[in-house]
Amino acid sequence: MNELLKSVPESYFASVSTLNENLEIGDKPLINLAVGIPDGAAPKSVTDAVKSSVEDPKQHKYPGFRGYPSFKKAIMDFYSRHYGVTLKDENIAILYGTKSALVQFPMIFIEPGEGVFLPNPGYADYSAGVILAKGVEYDLPLLKENEYLPDYDALDQKELDNARLIYLNYPSNPLGSVASKEFFDETISRFKDTDIKIVHDFAYAGFGFDKKHPSILQSDPELSTAVEIYSFSKSYNMSGFRAGFAVGNKEMIEAINIYQDHTQTGMWGVLQEAATTALNEEDDFLTAQKDIFKKRKDMVIKELSEAEIPIEPIEGGIFGWIKVPDEFDGESFVKYLLKEESILATPGIPFGSRGTNYIRISMAIEDEQLKECIERLKGIAYLWK
């Protein structure tokens, strides 16, 4: 391991991906609220596509580096149908899961010493890519008083002059906050024709509870300024498939494609057939998925708010963001919940310095378990008084 890799902090989510036998768990059955993927199965049409294509001898060979034309057409049709965005082949990169692209992109786009603004709070592993690129991480504060949207006017001008990228993520993990088309309009207008490009992590696109979440590309019709990273993991319950795509600015997309030309030999054709089927045939599944999580969200917000447990509004996504009682920080409260209530939550600190006094809870568990968890939290509501 070289010194550069040693400089990357341990991935929090890798360290807790399996439950450690040394965890101090209470007497009640464990409820895992740290899970980051929906609890349902992939659509039947998707699994049927896998079954029907896996025996095809062509799927046992290299599939071609940059994706089947049918997969790319499905992406084009999906973005046209859902967002009114027109894409060409040059605007699409197939991804072997979206996390890899989000981490790799600074390494293939910025020069050493250049800056990347990362949301705080925001997804923990964004920063690994900046470190591996020998870039400089700049703080993009997401503050409650600004509805957890960045205030570009408050950013340091010297940092802006040195920055090449801004990462955004709406609906937000961990905050559950969302962005409007007007915000994306402002973002594109501000950074168009500058040296700064935008990477929008759209992993929770399908979880729009009041209305469909906008794509940033709706605000960038010339595809001059942004790429959007779309995941099958959450909306289609396909996390194990490791499939996604990036769409947008052709220079940014080409950087991804060239990098993958040298590091991959093409996504397995069976996965491409499965993803194509999801995009072409499962709009109703997206609606059903949204409805499941809206019901859970309404229950969580109502019950915890009535108990005066300070949870932030959940406007999108699958997570809730809760301020911990005054005598705790996020990490100590996670230990308390585990030991006293057998609830495994995620501390806010992996998401940045502004998460120190928060925990993240997931709604990606069965309804009955979620109801039981709510009752356990209500039972200790006095801690917040």
Q: Kindly give, in sequence order, each residue whose CB lies less than 8 Å from that of residue 65, ignoring residues fewer than 6 positions away.
A: 260, 261, 264, 265, 266
Residue ranges of E strands in the chain: 31-32, 92-95, 115-120, 136-141, 163-169, 197-201, 226-231, 244-248, 319-323, 343-344, 346-347, 358-362
Are the C-beta atoms of 230 and 83 separated by less than 8 Å? no
Candidates 319, 300, 306, 318; CA nearest to 384 is 306
Q: What is the CA radius of gyration of the chain?
A: 21
Looking at residue 14, its pLDDT comes to 57
Q: How long is the chain? A: 385
Measured in degrees and rounded to the nearest 5, phi and psi for residue 195 equal -85, 0
228-231: Cβ within 8 A, 24+ apart: 228/200, 228/202, 229/95, 229/98, 229/101, 229/102, 229/199, 229/200, 229/201, 229/202, 229/203, 230/98, 230/202, 230/203, 230/205, 231/97, 231/98, 231/202, 231/203, 231/205
Only one residue has tokens 């054709």, namely 269
Looking at residue 86, its pLDDT comes to 95
Tokens of 382: 């006095």
> What domains can be seen in the chain, in order of their start residue?
3-41+284-384 (3.90.1150.10), 44-283 (3.40.640.10)
Candidates 88, 117, 58; CA nearest to 272 is 58
Question: Judging by DSSP bridges, how do beta strands 31-32 and 343-344 pair with one another?
Answer: parallel
pTM of the model: 0.91
Are the C-beta atoms of 227 and 27 separated by less than 8 Å? no
Looking at residue 17, its pLDDT comes to 47
Tokens of 230: 């779309």
Going from the first residue of the chain to its last (385 residues), give the mean pLDDT of each consecutive group of 10, the final group possibly shorter: 75 56 74 83 81 76 79 95 94 90 91 96 91 94 94 95 97 94 96 95 87 93 95 81 90 91 77 88 87 93 94 93 94 92 92 94 91 94 90
Looking at residue 233, its pLDDT comes to 85
Question: Judging by DSSP bridges, how do beta strands 244-248 and 92-95 pair with one another?
Answer: antiparallel
3-state SS of the chain: helix, strand, coil percent to 5? 45, 15, 40
Number of H helices and E strands in the chain, helices first, is 13, 12
Burial code (b: 16+ CB inside 10 Å, e: under 16) for 340-353 equals: ebbbbbbbbbbbbe
Say what angle helices 330-341 and 367-379 make with each other, to 10 degrees. Answer: 110
Looking at residue 18, its pLDDT comes to 44
Cis-peptide, bond into residue 171, ω within 30° of zero: yes
Question: Judging by DSSP bridges, how do beta strands 244-248 and 226-231 pair with one another?
Answer: antiparallel
Measured in degrees and rounded to the nearest 5, phi and psi for residue 197 equal -110, 160
Are the C-beta atoms of 319 and 174 separated by less than 8 Å? yes
The CA-atom distances, in angstroms, between 106 and each of 39, 103, 115, 361 are 32, 7, 9, 29
Measured in degrees and rounded to the nearest 5, phi and psi for residue 291 equal -65, -40
